[in-house]
């Protein structure tokens, strides 16, 4: 049996596949297929339109967060300063709220409600049992309409491995804190927190991320999936433009680098940690962990594996410490600062840490050219925010929200948009409209579309 036959039999055995970026050489046929009507989740040029929701925990120190000035004449304050280089792609929105996260008659449990309400806009049922009930999340409304256009209807990620059952916050199920995406009111979509498994799901095989024989065989043979599929990738080289060929080289280099990062992280798995053993495939440094997960999302968008994704940077109520920035105390504990200046300063450092990770991700999307010549960030709608506003008082009005990307021309970045006590779900209606989903009159507690976004 020759080497090619051996290679192809191996590929069939592990179910490996290589997802490739969108190439301009194939754009005319894609645009012709949608002639006469704009396809779901595409821009006016026919390029894919992406939607992502990124969640950070425990609110923010508003005096360092909120942009100063209105409209295009605005200035990013200290916390959001890392976004300055991409100010033309960003809008800071003030005045959005999730009042269904307020206590009402349910009492304590603001962290669970903040998480559970963020993408659903509904009041979640207070229960620590299996009878959880929330609402369909905005990402899944879009996924139900456009999910068949891609290999994965949506991609759920997390940089916070956390138990997903039992009680977590004052009588609320852990399911509310551990999930952003809800396929139905009773069925959350658990995010994947292991970058190795995300990579396996996106690029190679077996049973979509489950540890199995395919992964064991690859490790045993010390081979990369890319070693086996490179020849197939080269098969289309003759059809590509010079810009496409450069894009292909850049893409394959990026995939190889990520795979090597994961292998490096796994090589430390047997070194004991005095606090917590690092899960297999997860870097020990939190900033590197988040960066790696964002790279996975960027690759999923670049290859059109999905156009919808969520990322739980950490669950609301997270008490993680931050040795990377010399903050030894837990985030949640610090957020109850009671106006202590030292505690406020440390929370501000944490807020900045998360904003820096956001800036890295947006810069990555801005560096990748899309099929229509624009950047992937231009053809995206990225919501970054938290369901808590003031972590000290657990308020859910005037939420800290940034929207990045031009939405392929549907959004108006480079502004500070000031709304007046407006439901967050109004913004979601705008985004669903841009994705090309059938118009909804209402979502969650919406009262209409958000003007000017």
Tens-digit pLDDT profile for residues 87-114: 999 999 999 999 999 999 999 999 999 9
Highest mean pLDDT among 65-74, 325-334, 368-377: 325-334
pTM across the whole model? 0.81
Q: Does 348 lie in the same domain as 410? A: yes
Residue 131: how many other CB atoms lie within 10 Å: 9
Start-to-end CA distance of the chain, whole Å, equals: 61
Task: Identify the pLDDT of residue 204.
Answer: 61
444 shares a domain with 354: yes
pLDDT of residue 18: 52
Co-location of 132 and 46 in the same domain: yes
> Cβ of 19: how many Cβ atoms within 10 Å?
18
Domain range enclosing 20: 1-37+197-281
- 353 CA to centre of own chain: 17
The verdict on residue 424 lying in a domain is yes
Task: Render pLDDT for 187-221 as a digit per residue (tens, 0 to 9).
Answer: 999 999 998 888 878 776 443 334 444 444 544 44
Could you tell me which of 103, 97, 113, 123 has the C-alpha nearest to residue 397?
A: 97
Q: What is the pLDDT of residues 277-332, one digit of tens each?
A: 333 578 989 999 999 999 889 989 998 889 999 999 999 999 999 999 999 999 99
CA dihedral for 223, 243, 237, 14, sign (positive or negative): positive
CA distance 419 to 398: 9
Same domain, residue pair 31 and 88 = no
Question: Does residue 352 share a domain with residue 268?
Answer: no
Pairing assessment for the beta strands 182-184 and 172-173 based on DSSP bridges: unpaired
List all residues 6 or more positions away from 390 whose beta carbon is below 8 Å from its beta carbon.
59, 62
Q: Are 25 and 48 part of one and the same domain?
A: no
Give a yes or no: residue 299 inside a domain: no
Report the b/e string of 52-64 with b at 16+ CB within 10 A. bbbbbbbbbbbeb
Whether residues 136 and 179 share a domain: the answer is yes
On whether residue 119 sits in a domain, the answer given is yes
Nearest to 189 by CA among 359, 46, 306: 306
Q: What is the mean pLDDT of residues 48-76?
A: 95
Query: Is 447 a member of any domain?
Result: yes
Residue 157 lies in a domain: yes
Contacts 24+ apart (CB under 8 A), 409-414: 409/43, 409/44, 410/49, 410/381, 410/434, 411/91, 411/381, 411/453, 412/91, 412/452, 412/453, 413/88, 413/89, 413/90, 413/91, 414/72, 414/87, 414/88, 414/89, 414/90, 414/91
Question: Is residue 138, in this structure, part of any structural domain at all?
Answer: yes
Q: What is the 3-state secondary structure (H, E, C) of 347-375?
A: HHHHHHHHHHHHHHHHHHHHHCECCCCCE
**Whether residue 189 sits in one domain with residue 127:** yes
Helices (H), 56-160: 62-65, 110-118, 138-146
In a domain, 74, yes or no: yes
The H-assigned helical ranges of 37-173 are 62-65, 110-118, 138-146
Are the C-beta atoms of residues 32 and 396 closer than 8 Å to each other? Answer: no
Residue carrying the six token digits 């099929």: 371
Split into its structural domains, the chain has a count of: 2
> Are residue 317 and residue 428 in the same domain, yes or no?
yes
Whole-angstrom distance, CA of residue 319 vs CA of residue 83:
26
Do residues 264 and 180 share a domain? no
Residue 395 lies in a domain: yes
Q: Given CA atoms 74, 75, 81, 84 in this order, what sign does their dihedral have?
A: positive
Give the domain CATH number at 452: 3.40.720
Whether residues 326 and 425 fall in one domain: yes
Do 46 and 187 share a domain, yes or no? yes
pLDDT score at 93: 97
In Å, how far are 112, 125, 128, 146, 170 from 165, measured between CA atoms?
Answer: 13, 15, 8, 30, 14
């Amino acid at each position: 049996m020759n080497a090619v036959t051996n290679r192809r039999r191996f590929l069939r055995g592990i179910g490996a596949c290589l997802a490739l970026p969108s190439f301009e050489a194939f754009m005319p046929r894609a645009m012709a297929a949608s002639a006469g009507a704009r396809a779901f989740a595409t821009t006016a040029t026919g390029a894919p339109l992406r939607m992502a929701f990124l969640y950070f925990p425990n609110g923010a120190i508003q005096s360092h967060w909120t942009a100063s000035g209105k409209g295009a004449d605005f200035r990013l304050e200290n916390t959001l300063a890392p976004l300055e280089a991409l100010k033309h792609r960003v809008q800071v929105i003030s005045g959005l709220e999730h009042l269904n996260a307020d206590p009402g008659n349910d009492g304590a449990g603001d962290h669970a409600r903040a998480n559970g309400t963020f993408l659903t806009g509904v009041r979640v049922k207070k229960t620590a049992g299996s009878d959880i009930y929330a609402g369909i999340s905005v990402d899944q409304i879009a996924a139900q309409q456009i999910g068949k256009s891609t290999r994965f209807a949506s991609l759920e990620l997390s940089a916070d491995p956390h138990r997903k059952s039992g009680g977590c916050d004052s009588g609320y199920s852990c399911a509310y804190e551990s999930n952003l995406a809800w396929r139905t009111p009773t069925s959350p979509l658990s995010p994947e927190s292991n970058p190795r498994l995300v990579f396996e799901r996106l690029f190679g095989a077996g049973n979509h991320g489950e540890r199995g024989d395919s992964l064991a065989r690859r490790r045993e043979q010390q081979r990369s999936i890319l070693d086996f599929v490179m020849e197939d990738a080269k098969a289309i080289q003759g059809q590509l433009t010079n810009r496409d060929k450069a894009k292909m080289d850049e893409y394959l280099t990026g995939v190889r680098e990520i795979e090597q990062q994961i292998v490096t992280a796994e090589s430390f798995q047997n070194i004991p940690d005095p606090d917590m053993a690092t899960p297999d495939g997860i870097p020990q440094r939190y900033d590197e962990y988040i960066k790696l997960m964002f790279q996975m999302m960027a690759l999923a968008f670049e290859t059109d594996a999905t156009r919808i994704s969520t990322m739980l940077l950490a669950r609301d109520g997270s008490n993680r410490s931050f040795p990377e920035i010399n903050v030894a105390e837990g985030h949640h504990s610090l957020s109850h600062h009671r106006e202590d200046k030292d505690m406020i300063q440390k929370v501000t450092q944490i807020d900045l840490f998360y904003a820096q990770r956001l800036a890295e991700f947006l810069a990555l999307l801005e560096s990748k050219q899309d099929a229509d010549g624009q950047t992937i960030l231009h053809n995206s709608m990225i919501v970054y925010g938290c369901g808590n506003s003031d972590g000290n008082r657990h308020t859910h009005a005037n939420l800290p929200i940034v929207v990045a990307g031009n939405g392929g021309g549907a959004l108006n970045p480079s502004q500070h948009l000031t709304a007046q006590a407006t439901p967050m779900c109004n913004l979601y209606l705008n985004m669903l409209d841009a994705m090309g989903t059938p118009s909804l009159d209402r979502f969650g507690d919406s009262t209409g579309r958000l003007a000017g976004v």
